[in-house]
Structure 1
């Protein structure tokens, strides 16, 4: 099965794990997933999220890297835990994940938990 990959000259490839981007994802402990052909709505959701992050970056002045990182981590927390998504039945992503976990826990490596707030993100940002 071929998957779309904008990092490949042909736009199509089999995920091998040897691509430069895959290697970087592995190093950062990120699971790189490719979308199936004919599913542009998946890419649209990612592009919309990236556009919102871009708006924050354009509208905010950061004094240091730690401020930038803390802002991005806070936004990711707010987006995932508090902003309802139309594509998810007007629920935040964490609520949908918790629902999936109830019906198919074997698909998860970690149980999705709705943390109270972004305190850990503020602590992480202070390390840099």
Structure 2
């Protein structure tokens, strides 16, 4: 699982990686999907739902850098159910790429250490 934590600041090396700075003020699943549509240059056929986001994250052939880092200064302000779906989706995408596709793409999902307990509680049993 590529969920990692940081204490403060943002990671360096932006030239070799593709960074997505997830806005912590996002407060709905729809706003998060629109955010990813713009931030990841998702195709016009993107369906603006969780399944469509999963499908696009399992492709991203239009993004050149191998490593994509999703930087969460804080968790998006989603409802409990949507936050659970979002975190499960990130874990599933990471697992999809792991192993056989490691040479093509690497996903890193960075979260604030302040959110670690909440994330671990939500993802327990995934």
TM-score by length of 2: 0.27
Query: Which structure: greater helix fraction?
Result: 1
More strand by share: 2
Larger radius of gyration: 1
- Larger RCO: 1 or 2 (CA < 8 Å, sep 6+): 2
